[in-house]
Structure 1
């Protein structure tokens, strides 16, 4: 369906009078059509200055309406969270200070009913946050589309000027992370009835190495807030410093990746997943002023080795990083103070020192230098001190070049460039130095050595429409492949999918529900865009993300605000006049209150003629009606044909790691893509020692049957008492078949062995060879029987 129709069917009842008037704005863009002298379709009247002023006035009033509602609701949610926080604190205090039960059976301890009411209240706030995020996202998409339609139809460029207005009213910039952290803490206290799980808030941050099985997913920006709210109902947000008020800087994570820019050993090793492939990076948490830098090495291990892939790291001061990476500071000096303090066991210090020596040797020996930086804000969900299930969501993912190649000094002699920090989206960088990833990355990490299956809600989450599985996705691989297009010729398999919209239809109900809501209803429908344009995600530029800009006191702004207030009052009066005195809902309320269905239609482009245009042409009549009808029917035939062709060419995809796939119940789909000119797409292939043995056994099997056929030929030739031409021809034919079978088996074996060594995704099964071989053996048996019967004069 079109965006206008999607907007109408996605209305949330509370916000139904505050959405952008998309249909009204679109109607303003349609000027009258002048009549044609020859009876054909007339030309539209030219867009005038008066039309532009009227459209801008209406557009700014709509922006004021949406912005006002968003700010009012956001403030209301903030007050409700504060009130709930006071109530939870009071209940927990009573729980901690409860006295003995009196003779009458009275106690100051909170009851189960109080906890249930608190949980319902928090669930209702969570649903409000979800609805507000959907409201904001849908209106922002509406403004994007109406501005794009305006510039296209009128030829007047309004986009830059409107971007300035959005800076003054940035209703779409709130990500609600601070609210989510507070809600997570309160909900965890209430859900556990005042006894949340205690433990190390770092939850593994102090561990030198740990083993996990990780699966990765892409999340569209429209679904990020909803996904966070769903997860926090099951796992609390992991806060590293619980005694400090949440700051956006707390979630920032930055990593500097190293590689040899001549051979790209680390890139290709991680891409091909060869045994022992390494990734070396320097990571810090927070802003650029952080003094602690973690030096990490990730090592890939094949399953057949009996070992697991592991990440090992040690910490050092930022002031020592340059000397360490250049070999001027040796590892024993780094850990000298730790040995004197005696806070860590000697065994742990020795392991860290050995790791430091190995990383330093690799960097100096193989010429590794900084090549790529990754930045993102991470929201982690995990029970403290319990790493069996850990879910992290990385948003605002950005990759930045750190090299000094192509004659530009980015980091210079330093280990990292200093012209950027955590000031996403890094607008000061040139486009060739930065890659802004369009999706968030969800990682589901399980410690499978404990032998426990993942919870059911995790299975339901990863099979929902909110995520898109991308096994083996790597920030380092993606950043290197995109930032060095002239130097990297082997691309990861997900690169061609970057231009494909990952949003999916709702296959089953999974989302935020209010307390007491039925299982087949939700707070709102899901929203999707009707045009997959590359610039849609950043329609008004990165500068519009700055939410610190506020309204000025100019006379023009005040006038718009007064007009917006009058419009809101008039709309409210119309709403009250239209509503009946009873409980009957009007048409729009019925649409807003309608439950979700399993069917979901992704709406089409608004640029196409719709039913309204056809009806308008019907009223005009004549050739305009027949031409519109012809276009309408042609589009219907085209769409139906396209759907039929897609069903015919649909193919199953390669799957992710079998163990993880079976445990999570996740299936992955694949599309066929063609690599860009001069590039190759690497498809991950699982290679174990038993694969070589299987190829060898297959070759030996072919060799055995070749010998059998050759034996039959020799028997026919040498053991016939009366050799005739018929038996001689049969023996010669089977000798040729035996030799051809032997040569075929050798060629197949060499081809497969080479493909296995190079980890190529080729067709390893043989569709025709076994059938032909069995047919030859069957013919040999028939001929042998026929010769025997003829010899005995039976035939």
Structure 2
């Protein structure tokens, strides 16, 4: 859809005259015709773009920018006043309700709040929420409009307006307002109104240790907005989370271990919440455990003062010094302190002995939703996700000898950095953490959301892996499976209405349309460092979530990581989903890695016998493939029953249209790692299969040996036939077993089941038995003729 059409269909009718006049600006880019159009020449050449045309166009752009900026500023101030008025009204109604509850003797006072009073407050708050959403959408559409018209101008004329007008946009930054504080306040107010002044309270981690859950599906539409510190006004930096990931830049062992999810793979990072002035830094170690070990992947961490981080990582500050104050204050038991000291020693030893240095920083703003006193459902939305290089390997000094670089803070989009130092993730990351009983389905709204057009499932997505791979293209050659998809548009046709709706009024379906070109569990500090506060906002959770999503200037879609786990595991999305099986459907993307091509190129570079052997192997493989294709085309094979592509919207729970197979190719010189679950039972299964074939081969060999005892020509021919079948089965099963073990060991995503072996064995046995019968009847016939 063209942006002009998208703008016309998405704008709010009451605000029509305050949007950018996109069509008029497009017309302003057209100069007059050199000659009048005629029937023979309906489109004569236009006059060249002159300085007067440029001045006229820039003046018109300035007027449009001033119009949009003024309206956005006025509406934003209006929202502030309306929210303050709503706070006052809610406080008065709640105070009256509390006074009535305290005065038990007066059962029906005149000023008792009625149910109608609360319903009116709900409608007012719903209207304010819709206005927040509309203003955010207004901002997004207009910002996109200015960017597109500038791009069109620079493309059609010889004048470059983008760098000049960027300064004007910075002078009137209507697109930079952050409405997070609005969302948080409205969440709290709506909670008070919906619960009639009695909001749910409790520790946000409660319920984590429960074994039996009583689920009420509708309850999970009441998710709260979590505020890190309820004692102060919410600020933009309160939602900022930054992490520094460490690794060895020569071996990339932590990157490789985390990518392959090998048993015991570790990740070491330093994390802080808020701005660069935060004094508390958390040193964390995440350890991956395979399911078959019976252990769970865990994240353990200690807190340090920012001034002590460099000394601790360099070994100049001992572990005893780190916990000296904690031991002196006596807030933790000696056992707890001993465990923390052991963790600190292990992290410090690993960093020093393995020469780990800062390599990648991740930054994002996180909005979290969770019921107070109940950790069974937790949703986090990470926006403005950005990865930044921290290493000094290319001769440039970034972090230097410090544990992090200091030339940036939380000033997204980090425009001061060169392009090779920053990776701005184009999507938001939506994570839903559920705790359900075995076999229990997630709530219906979760299933609807994951199946909608708003999200694209990316199991095992990792910020560390993605950022490190993108920022080190010349040094990282093993890529995560989702990397080739980054150039593919994940937007899908709209399937369900998820948009904000005012009371008694509907708007468009989605907050972000398809605007084509014109051509982890919530990580929180320990309870003593960060306080949780929430509000129970019923169906308006969707409204608040939509408002928060629409704040971005990007055309955001969400990627979702859905994890079902138990509450004792404080992990991010890349950890929790590591324990889940990868569900591969028929339309799951297929990935090809140029392993053989890379090996051949390497052999060609080395030369000599290495190249000769690789060349012979390559030609044999090509010949074998062609021969196999010929045999497959000749052999009669069952064909799939053709199905109509127009299957309707509800067949099998799928939408209409053909199922498409998506195939992605690794870039040249790179390999794609597809996650494969490998447990000890997989090796045992391969071994049992080989032993079964071996047993069958021995039985056939025994039959052949028994036939030899008869001594006649028929028995000899049958023995030879059974012996050949036994030897073929033996060598085939041995080769298949060795191939499977090699692929399992290397965690390769290949087809492990045997499609042709059993069929070939049956054919061989049929031939062997047929030979016995043919020889027997042939000899009997010859004997009859002689007589």
The TM-score, its normalising length taken from structure 2, stands at: 0.75
Match of 1:723 in 2: 713
Match of 1:222 in 2: none
Q: Does the 8 A contact of 1:654 with 1:669 survive in 2?
A: no
- Per the TM alignment, residue 200 of structure 1 is displaced from its structure 2 partner at its CA by 4.4
- Per the TM alignment, residue 21 of structure 1 is displaced from its structure 2 partner at its CA by 2.2
Q: Which of these residues, 122, 126, 129, is aligned with residue 125 of structure 2?
A: 122
Instruction: Report whether the alignment pairs 1:693 with 2:629.
Output: no
Deviation string for 1:397-432 (max 9, x for gaps)? 222222232333322322222222222222333332
Match of 2:7 in 1: 7
Q: Which of these residues, 263, 266, 270, is aligned with residue 275 of structure 1?
A: 263
- Per the TM alignment, residue 678 of structure 1 is displaced from its structure 2 partner at its CA by 1.6
Distance, in Å, in 2 between the alignment partners of 1:247 and 1:11 is 29
Query: What are structure 1's unaligned runs of at least 5 residues?
Result: 213-229, 534-649, 656-664
Match of 1:446 in 2: 434
Match of 2:305 in 1: 317
Give runs of aligned pairs for residues 11-410 of structure 1, distance below 5 A.
11-34=11-34, 42-98=44-100, 99-100=102-103, 105-106=108-109, 108-200=111-203, 234-410=222-398
Distance, in Å, in 2 between the alignment partners of 1:184 and 1:96 is 21
Alpha carbons of 1:421 and 1:7: their partners in 2 closer, same or farther (altered >3 Å)?
closer
Q: Does the 8 A contact of 1:389 with 1:454 survive in 2?
A: no
Alpha carbons of 1:211 and 1:33: their partners in 2 closer, same or farther (altered >3 Å)?
farther
Q: Does the 8 A contact of 2:453 with 2:492 survive in 1?
A: yes
Distance, in Å, in 2 between the alignment partners of 1:476 and 1:666 is 34
Query: What are structure 2's unaligned runs of at least 5 residues?
Result: 212-217, 520-585, 592-652
Match of 2:481 in 1: 493
Q: Does the 8 A contact of 2:469 with 2:476 survive in 1?
A: yes
Q: Does the 8 A contact of 1:31 with 1:45 survive in 2?
A: yes
Deviation string for 1:691-749 (max 9, x for gaps)? 11111122122223333444454455543x6425xx64554344323212211111111
Q: Does the 8 A contact of 1:211 with 1:308 survive in 2?
A: no
Alpha carbons of 1:348 and 1:450: their partners in 2 closer, same or farther (altered >3 Å)?
farther
SS of the residue corresponding to residue 368 of structure 2 reads: strand
Deviation string for 1:63-108 (max 9, x for gaps)? 2222233222222222221111111111221222224456774475
- Per the TM alignment, residue 56 of structure 1 is displaced from its structure 2 partner at its CA by 2.5
Q: Does the 8 A contact of 1:464 with 1:510 survive in 2?
A: no
Q: Which of these residues, 661, 667, 672, is aligned with residue 676 of structure 1?
A: 667
Alpha carbons of 1:338 and 1:279: their partners in 2 closer, same or farther (altered >3 Å)?
same
Distance, in Å, in 1 between the alignment partners of 2:348 and 2:260 is 24
- Per the TM alignment, residue 146 of structure 1 is displaced from its structure 2 partner at its CA by 1.6
Alpha carbons of 1:453 and 1:114: their partners in 2 closer, same or farther (altered >3 Å)?
farther
Alpha carbons of 1:654 and 1:453: their partners in 2 closer, same or farther (altered >3 Å)?
farther
Deviation string for 1:537-569 (max 9, x for gaps)? xxxxxxxxxxxxxxxxxxxxxxxxxxxxxxxxx
Alpha carbons of 1:109 and 1:746: their partners in 2 closer, same or farther (altered >3 Å)?
farther
Give aligned pairs, total.
645
Q: Does the 8 A contact of 1:210 with 1:312 survive in 2?
A: no
Q: Which of these residues, 477, 495, 506, is aligned with residue 507 of structure 1?
A: 495
Distance, in Å, in 2 between the alignment partners of 1:672 and 1:685 is 18
Distance, in Å, in 1 between the alignment partners of 2:518 and 2:670 is 25
- Per the TM alignment, residue 166 of structure 1 is displaced from its structure 2 partner at its CA by 1.3
Deviation string for 1:592-642 (max 9, x for gaps)? xxxxxxxxxxxxxxxxxxxxxxxxxxxxxxxxxxxxxxxxxxxxxxxxxxx
Alpha carbons of 1:175 and 1:766: their partners in 2 closer, same or farther (altered >3 Å)?
farther
SS of the residue corresponding to residue 16 of structure 1 reads: helix
Match of 1:652 in 2: 588
The TM-score, its normalising length taken from structure 1, stands at: 0.75
Alpha carbons of 1:653 and 1:275: their partners in 2 closer, same or farther (altered >3 Å)?
same
Match of 1:704 in 2: 695
Distance, in Å, in 2 between the alignment partners of 1:449 and 1:409 is 51
Distance, in Å, in 1 between the alignment partners of 2:287 and 2:317 is 24
SS of the residue corresponding to residue 386 of structure 1 reads: coil
Alpha carbons of 1:101 and 1:264: their partners in 2 closer, same or farther (altered >3 Å)?
same
SS of the residue corresponding to residue 435 of structure 1 reads: strand
Give runs of aligned pairs for residues 453-464 of structure 1, distance below 5 A.
454-464=442-452
Q: Which of these residues, 478, 482, 487, is aligned with residue 466 of structure 2?
A: 478
Distance, in Å, in 1 between the alignment partners of 2:513 and 2:758 is 52
Alpha carbons of 1:179 and 1:325: their partners in 2 closer, same or farther (altered >3 Å)?
same
Deviation string for 1:661-717 (max 9, x for gaps)? xxxx99999832222222111111111111111111221222233334444544555
